[in-house]
Amino acid sequence: MLFIALFVSFFFYSAGVYTSGTALIDAPSASDSVHRGQALFRENNCWACHQIYGLGGYMGPDLTNIVINPDLGPDYARLFIEEGTDRMPNFELNTREVDDIIAYLEHAGAAGNYNPKKGKVTWYGTVEYDRE
């Protein structure tokens, strides 16, 4: 009898786990421009030197929250992407391509935060952030 009860609860629990969605509840939807920007970010190897959500190369800074940061913002990012620096190449991208990359960086910033060190660990082990 116990075995049957366990089997039945296992069955319903599994059905629940496999059918409940895994999508982020408040994730912003990505426009075509965001998708193009992500592809450009990959094709131009921005990831070789930069990180998004802390993943990538470490020659340049993490770019997750550059565009949504009110002290930096899209114009600041545009300047670097269009001009390059001594250490960052100028990729000769056209205005639309730069717009797409900025849309991608804006989307990345709206979907998550980096630096994780600013998060607070709760007593039950998750990390919480103050979202701007």
Q: Where are the beta strands (DSSP E) in the chain?
A: 51-52, 55-56, 120-121, 127-128
User: Counting contacts by CB under 6 A, is residue 116 touching ligand HEC?
Assistant: no
Q: Which stretch binds ligand HEC (CB under 6 A): 3-11, 53-61, 107-115, 124-132?
A: 53-61
Nearest to 50 by CA among 40, 60, 42, 41: 60
- The yes or no reply on residue 54 touching ligand HEC (CB under 6 A) is no
Cβ proximity of 77 and 64 under 8 Å: no
By CB under 6 A, residue 53 contacts ligand HEC:
no
Lookup: tokens for 36 = 């193009």
Nearest distance from C-beta of residue 113 to ligand HEC, angstroms: 15
Q: How many residues bind ligand HEC (CB under 6 A)?
A: 21
Query: Least distance from C-beta 128 to ligand HEC, angstroms?
Result: 25
Which residue among 34, 38, 50, 100 contacts ligand HEC (CB under 6 A)? 50
CB-nearer residue toward ligand HEC: 14 or 90: 90
**CA dihedral sign of residues 56, 61, 66, 69:** positive
Residue numbers 96-115 binding ligand HEC by CB under 6 A: 101
- CA–CA dist 67, 90 (Å, integer): 19
